[in-house]
Structure 1
Amino acid sequence: MRLVELTATENYGYQAFRMMGFHRHQDCFRSKPSDQVKAPFPTAGMPDNFTLGFITATNELAGVVSFEREGQTRQKFRHKGLLFGMYVAEEYSGQHLGRLLLEETIRRVRLVSDIEQINLTVIATNHRARSLYEKLGFTSFAYEKNALKDGDMYYDEEQMVLFL
Protein backbone atom coordinates (compact mmCIF):
# COMPACT_ATOMS: atom_id res chain seq x y z
CA MET A 1 0.00 0.00 0.00
CA ARG A 2 1.30 3.47 -0.80
CA LEU A 3 0.32 6.99 0.16
CA VAL A 4 -0.08 9.38 -2.78
CA GLU A 5 -1.40 12.84 -3.49
CA LEU A 6 -4.54 12.65 -5.58
CA THR A 7 -5.38 15.13 -8.31
CA ALA A 8 -8.42 15.84 -10.45
CA THR A 9 -6.85 13.86 -13.30
CA GLU A 10 -5.05 11.14 -11.32
CA ASN A 11 -7.47 10.25 -8.57
CA TYR A 12 -7.76 6.43 -8.67
CA GLY A 13 -11.56 6.48 -8.74
CA TYR A 14 -11.95 9.04 -5.96
CA GLN A 15 -15.61 9.83 -6.75
CA ALA A 16 -16.66 6.16 -6.83
CA PHE A 17 -14.73 5.51 -3.59
CA ARG A 18 -16.46 8.40 -1.82
CA MET A 19 -19.87 7.30 -3.12
CA MET A 20 -19.23 3.81 -1.74
CA GLY A 21 -18.43 5.39 1.64
CA PHE A 22 -21.57 7.53 1.56
CA HIS A 23 -23.73 4.48 0.87
CA ARG A 24 -22.06 2.30 3.50
CA HIS A 25 -21.86 4.89 6.27
CA GLN A 26 -24.39 7.67 5.70
CA ASP A 27 -24.41 8.33 9.44
CA CYS A 28 -20.72 9.39 9.31
CA PHE A 29 -20.91 12.00 6.55
CA ARG A 30 -22.20 15.56 6.42
CA SER A 31 -23.70 15.14 2.97
CA LYS A 32 -25.81 12.62 1.11
CA PRO A 33 -24.68 10.69 -1.96
CA SER A 34 -27.03 12.74 -4.14
CA ASP A 35 -25.24 15.93 -2.98
CA GLN A 36 -21.96 14.60 -4.32
CA VAL A 37 -22.91 13.10 -7.68
CA LYS A 38 -21.66 16.06 -9.71
CA ALA A 39 -19.24 17.51 -7.17
CA PRO A 40 -15.85 18.50 -8.62
CA PHE A 41 -12.62 17.08 -7.24
CA PRO A 42 -12.24 18.84 -3.88
CA THR A 43 -8.73 20.29 -4.02
CA ALA A 44 -6.22 21.95 -6.34
CA GLY A 45 -3.00 20.09 -5.49
CA MET A 46 -1.08 22.93 -3.83
CA PRO A 47 0.82 22.99 -0.51
CA ASP A 48 -2.22 24.53 1.23
CA ASN A 49 -4.90 22.65 -0.70
CA PHE A 50 -4.51 18.88 -1.31
CA THR A 51 -6.06 15.42 -1.14
CA LEU A 52 -4.16 12.33 -0.02
CA GLY A 53 -5.06 8.70 -0.57
CA PHE A 54 -3.82 5.23 0.22
CA ILE A 55 -3.60 3.09 -2.93
CA THR A 56 -3.63 -0.71 -2.80
CA ALA A 57 -1.40 -2.99 -4.87
CA THR A 58 -4.26 -3.18 -7.40
CA ASN A 59 -4.43 0.65 -7.64
CA GLU A 60 -7.67 0.97 -5.70
CA LEU A 61 -8.30 3.52 -2.97
CA ALA A 62 -8.32 2.32 0.63
CA GLY A 63 -8.58 5.70 2.37
CA VAL A 64 -8.65 9.44 1.65
CA VAL A 65 -8.46 12.83 3.35
CA SER A 66 -8.51 16.41 2.05
CA PHE A 67 -7.22 19.71 3.37
CA GLU A 68 -7.74 23.27 2.24
CA ARG A 69 -6.72 26.64 3.58
CA GLU A 70 -9.63 28.76 4.69
CA GLY A 71 -9.87 32.32 3.51
CA GLN A 72 -8.99 31.87 -0.14
CA THR A 73 -10.61 35.24 -0.67
CA ARG A 74 -10.63 36.63 2.88
CA GLN A 75 -7.32 37.46 4.55
CA LYS A 76 -8.56 37.24 8.14
CA PHE A 77 -9.17 33.49 7.77
CA ARG A 78 -5.91 32.50 6.06
CA HIS A 79 -4.25 31.36 9.29
CA LYS A 80 -6.66 28.39 9.40
CA GLY A 81 -7.19 25.28 7.36
CA LEU A 82 -9.97 22.74 7.10
CA LEU A 83 -9.48 18.98 7.20
CA PHE A 84 -12.41 17.23 5.47
CA GLY A 85 -13.55 14.22 3.49
CA MET A 86 -11.76 11.69 5.71
CA TYR A 87 -12.75 8.11 4.95
CA VAL A 88 -11.12 4.69 5.23
CA ALA A 89 -12.94 1.72 3.71
CA GLU A 90 -14.10 -0.75 6.32
CA GLU A 91 -12.08 -3.62 4.80
CA TYR A 92 -8.92 -1.67 5.70
CA SER A 93 -10.05 -0.77 9.21
CA GLY A 94 -7.50 -1.53 11.91
CA GLN A 95 -4.48 -0.98 9.66
CA HIS A 96 -3.86 2.58 10.99
CA LEU A 97 -4.50 4.14 7.58
CA GLY A 98 -6.58 6.93 9.11
CA ARG A 99 -3.82 7.80 11.54
CA LEU A 100 -1.21 7.78 8.77
CA LEU A 101 -3.37 9.98 6.54
CA LEU A 102 -3.84 12.48 9.36
CA GLU A 103 -0.17 12.46 10.37
CA GLU A 104 0.92 13.16 6.79
CA THR A 105 -1.68 15.91 6.43
CA ILE A 106 -0.49 17.56 9.65
CA ARG A 107 3.15 17.22 8.57
CA ARG A 108 2.44 18.90 5.21
CA VAL A 109 0.40 21.70 6.75
CA ARG A 110 3.20 22.45 9.22
CA LEU A 111 5.43 23.17 6.21
CA VAL A 112 3.14 26.07 5.26
CA SER A 113 4.53 28.81 7.49
CA ASP A 114 1.42 30.93 7.95
CA ILE A 115 -1.18 28.27 8.79
CA GLU A 116 -1.62 28.15 12.55
CA GLN A 117 -4.51 25.75 13.07
CA ILE A 118 -6.43 22.90 11.48
CA ASN A 119 -10.19 22.71 12.01
CA LEU A 120 -12.53 19.81 11.35
CA THR A 121 -16.12 18.80 11.94
CA VAL A 122 -17.11 15.29 12.97
CA ILE A 123 -20.49 13.66 13.56
CA ALA A 124 -20.67 13.44 17.36
CA THR A 125 -21.64 9.76 17.38
CA ASN A 126 -18.60 8.81 15.27
CA HIS A 127 -16.61 7.79 18.34
CA ARG A 128 -13.78 6.08 16.44
CA ALA A 129 -13.06 9.20 14.39
CA ARG A 130 -13.32 11.52 17.41
CA SER A 131 -10.95 9.29 19.38
CA LEU A 132 -8.39 9.28 16.57
CA TYR A 133 -8.53 13.06 16.24
CA GLU A 134 -8.05 13.45 19.99
CA LYS A 135 -5.04 11.08 19.98
CA LEU A 136 -3.41 13.36 17.42
CA GLY A 137 -4.00 16.47 19.52
CA PHE A 138 -7.31 17.84 18.25
CA THR A 139 -9.57 19.32 20.92
CA SER A 140 -13.27 20.11 20.84
CA PHE A 141 -14.31 23.77 20.72
CA ALA A 142 -17.99 23.57 19.76
CA TYR A 143 -20.91 21.18 19.79
CA GLU A 144 -24.02 21.68 17.69
CA LYS A 145 -27.12 19.70 18.54
CA ASN A 146 -29.27 18.70 15.54
CA ALA A 147 -26.69 20.10 13.13
CA LEU A 148 -27.82 17.76 10.36
CA LYS A 149 -31.21 16.36 9.45
CA ASP A 150 -31.69 13.34 7.21
CA GLY A 151 -35.39 12.59 6.84
CA ASP A 152 -36.60 12.58 10.42
CA MET A 153 -33.17 11.64 11.86
CA TYR A 154 -30.97 14.32 13.46
CA TYR A 155 -27.19 14.24 13.93
CA ASP A 156 -25.14 16.34 16.31
CA GLU A 157 -21.75 17.67 15.22
CA GLU A 158 -18.58 18.48 17.07
CA GLN A 159 -16.02 20.97 15.84
CA MET A 160 -12.39 20.31 16.70
CA VAL A 161 -9.11 22.19 16.31
CA LEU A 162 -5.43 21.38 16.30
CA PHE A 163 -3.21 24.39 17.02
CA LEU A 164 0.09 24.05 15.20
Structure 2
Amino acid sequence: MIEIVAHNTLWKQDFAAEANAVASALDLRLTTVHHIGSTAIAGILAKPVIDMLAVSPSLDALNTATPALTALGYQAMGAYGIEGRLYFRKDDAAGRRTHHLHGYAAGSPQIERHLAFRDYLRAHPDIAMQYSALKQQLIADDADYIEGKAPFVLATEAQALGWYRQQPRDY
Protein backbone atom coordinates (compact mmCIF):
# COMPACT_ATOMS: atom_id res chain seq x y z
CA MET A 1 0.00 0.00 0.00
CA ILE A 2 1.38 3.36 -1.02
CA GLU A 3 1.13 6.13 1.54
CA ILE A 4 1.01 9.79 0.58
CA VAL A 5 1.00 12.58 3.12
CA ALA A 6 0.78 16.36 3.27
CA HIS A 7 3.99 18.24 2.59
CA ASN A 8 6.27 18.32 5.61
CA THR A 9 8.47 21.40 5.96
CA LEU A 10 11.10 19.24 7.70
CA TRP A 11 11.76 17.34 4.44
CA LYS A 12 14.02 20.17 3.29
CA GLN A 13 16.15 19.83 6.43
CA ASP A 14 16.13 16.04 6.17
CA PHE A 15 17.38 16.31 2.60
CA ALA A 16 20.14 18.76 3.58
CA ALA A 17 21.38 16.54 6.40
CA GLU A 18 21.34 13.40 4.27
CA ALA A 19 22.92 15.17 1.29
CA ASN A 20 25.78 16.29 3.55
CA ALA A 21 26.28 12.74 4.80
CA VAL A 22 26.26 11.38 1.24
CA ALA A 23 28.63 14.10 0.02
CA SER A 24 31.05 13.36 2.86
CA ALA A 25 30.92 9.64 2.16
CA LEU A 26 31.45 10.08 -1.57
CA ASP A 27 34.19 12.70 -1.23
CA LEU A 28 35.60 13.50 -4.69
CA ARG A 29 33.36 10.99 -6.47
CA LEU A 30 30.45 13.40 -6.30
CA THR A 31 29.69 16.62 -8.15
CA THR A 32 26.44 17.53 -6.39
CA VAL A 33 23.28 16.21 -4.77
CA HIS A 34 19.83 17.58 -5.66
CA HIS A 35 16.54 17.18 -3.82
CA ILE A 36 14.03 15.79 -6.34
CA GLY A 37 10.62 14.17 -6.30
CA SER A 38 7.46 15.34 -4.62
CA THR A 39 9.10 15.98 -1.23
CA ALA A 40 11.06 18.74 -2.98
CA ILE A 41 7.88 20.56 -4.07
CA ALA A 42 6.18 22.57 -1.34
CA GLY A 43 2.47 22.12 -0.83
CA ILE A 44 1.84 18.84 -2.63
CA LEU A 45 1.12 15.36 -1.37
CA ALA A 46 4.07 13.00 -1.41
CA LYS A 47 5.26 9.61 -0.32
CA PRO A 48 7.28 10.36 2.83
CA VAL A 49 10.55 9.31 1.17
CA ILE A 50 13.28 11.80 0.31
CA ASP A 51 14.43 11.40 -3.31
CA MET A 52 17.94 12.59 -4.04
CA LEU A 53 19.81 12.86 -7.32
CA ALA A 54 23.56 12.41 -7.06
CA VAL A 55 25.71 13.63 -9.95
CA SER A 56 29.11 11.99 -10.23
CA PRO A 57 31.91 12.42 -12.76
CA SER A 58 31.18 8.84 -13.87
CA LEU A 59 29.09 5.85 -12.89
CA ASP A 60 32.29 3.95 -12.20
CA ALA A 61 33.32 6.61 -9.67
CA LEU A 62 29.93 6.37 -8.01
CA ASN A 63 30.04 2.58 -8.06
CA THR A 64 33.33 2.62 -6.15
CA ALA A 65 31.48 4.50 -3.40
CA THR A 66 29.01 1.68 -2.80
CA PRO A 67 30.77 0.53 0.41
CA ALA A 68 30.64 4.09 1.79
CA LEU A 69 26.93 4.34 0.99
CA THR A 70 26.31 0.92 2.51
CA ALA A 71 27.98 2.19 5.69
CA LEU A 72 25.37 4.99 5.73
CA GLY A 73 22.59 2.40 5.60
CA TYR A 74 21.94 2.35 1.85
CA GLN A 75 21.21 -0.79 -0.12
CA ALA A 76 22.70 -0.87 -3.63
CA MET A 77 20.10 -1.84 -6.25
CA GLY A 78 22.13 -1.40 -9.45
CA ALA A 79 20.38 0.30 -12.38
CA TYR A 80 17.00 -0.92 -11.08
CA GLY A 81 15.33 -0.61 -14.46
CA ILE A 82 16.87 2.64 -15.68
CA GLU A 83 19.96 2.32 -17.85
CA GLY A 84 22.72 4.72 -16.84
CA ARG A 85 21.62 4.98 -13.22
CA LEU A 86 22.87 3.57 -9.95
CA TYR A 87 20.03 3.38 -7.46
CA PHE A 88 20.30 3.09 -3.70
CA ARG A 89 17.59 2.97 -1.06
CA LYS A 90 17.64 3.45 2.68
CA ASP A 91 15.26 2.29 5.40
CA ASP A 92 15.02 3.38 9.02
CA ALA A 93 15.42 1.01 11.98
CA ALA A 94 11.73 0.06 11.76
CA GLY A 95 12.13 -0.95 8.10
CA ARG A 96 10.33 2.09 6.66
CA ARG A 97 11.84 3.53 3.49
CA THR A 98 13.32 6.97 4.16
CA HIS A 99 15.53 7.82 1.17
CA HIS A 100 16.10 7.03 -2.48
CA LEU A 101 19.41 7.98 -4.07
CA HIS A 102 19.47 8.09 -7.87
CA GLY A 103 23.05 8.34 -9.12
CA TYR A 104 23.93 9.51 -12.63
CA ALA A 105 27.10 10.45 -14.46
CA ALA A 106 27.46 14.14 -15.27
CA GLY A 107 25.82 14.87 -18.61
CA SER A 108 23.13 12.20 -18.33
CA PRO A 109 19.82 13.39 -19.83
CA GLN A 110 18.10 11.89 -16.78
CA ILE A 111 19.53 14.69 -14.65
CA GLU A 112 17.89 17.37 -16.76
CA ARG A 113 14.61 15.43 -16.83
CA HIS A 114 14.41 15.22 -13.03
CA LEU A 115 15.45 18.81 -12.41
CA ALA A 116 13.15 20.18 -15.12
CA PHE A 117 10.12 18.37 -13.68
CA ARG A 118 10.90 19.57 -10.14
CA ASP A 119 11.58 23.17 -11.13
CA TYR A 120 8.58 23.33 -13.44
CA LEU A 121 6.21 22.23 -10.68
CA ARG A 122 7.81 24.66 -8.25
CA ALA A 123 7.30 27.51 -10.75
CA HIS A 124 3.76 26.41 -11.70
CA PRO A 125 1.83 25.77 -8.48
CA ASP A 126 -1.41 25.22 -10.37
CA ILE A 127 0.11 22.26 -12.21
CA ALA A 128 1.71 21.02 -8.98
CA MET A 129 -1.76 21.04 -7.38
CA GLN A 130 -3.17 19.06 -10.34
CA TYR A 131 -0.43 16.49 -9.79
CA SER A 132 -1.18 16.35 -6.07
CA ALA A 133 -4.91 15.91 -6.72
CA LEU A 134 -4.22 13.13 -9.22
CA LYS A 135 -2.09 11.28 -6.68
CA GLN A 136 -4.80 11.66 -4.04
CA GLN A 137 -7.43 10.34 -6.48
CA LEU A 138 -5.29 7.34 -7.42
CA ILE A 139 -4.89 6.41 -3.76
CA ALA A 140 -8.61 6.92 -3.08
CA ASP A 141 -9.55 4.73 -6.06
CA ASP A 142 -6.99 2.09 -5.06
CA ALA A 143 -5.62 2.44 -8.59
CA ASP A 144 -2.12 1.52 -9.72
CA TYR A 145 -0.26 4.55 -8.42
CA ILE A 146 2.78 4.42 -10.71
CA GLU A 147 0.88 3.60 -13.90
CA GLY A 148 -1.92 5.99 -13.02
CA LYS A 149 0.31 9.02 -12.75
CA ALA A 150 2.56 8.11 -15.71
CA PRO A 151 0.53 9.94 -18.41
CA PHE A 152 0.53 13.14 -16.34
CA VAL A 153 4.24 12.85 -15.59
CA LEU A 154 5.20 12.20 -19.21
CA ALA A 155 3.10 15.09 -20.54
CA THR A 156 4.35 17.45 -17.85
CA GLU A 157 7.97 16.38 -18.40
CA ALA A 158 7.70 17.34 -22.06
CA GLN A 159 6.41 20.80 -21.12
CA ALA A 160 8.92 21.10 -18.31
CA LEU A 161 11.92 20.33 -20.50
CA GLY A 162 11.03 23.06 -22.99
CA TRP A 163 10.46 25.53 -20.19
CA TYR A 164 13.58 24.47 -18.26
CA ARG A 165 15.91 24.90 -21.19
CA GLN A 166 14.90 28.56 -21.42
CA GLN A 167 15.52 29.32 -17.74
CA PRO A 168 18.67 30.95 -16.35
CA ARG A 169 20.29 28.66 -13.76
CA ASP A 170 22.69 29.22 -10.90
CA TYR A 171 23.63 25.54 -10.55
TM-score by length of 2: 0.30
Larger % of strand: which? 1
TM-score by length of 1: 0.31
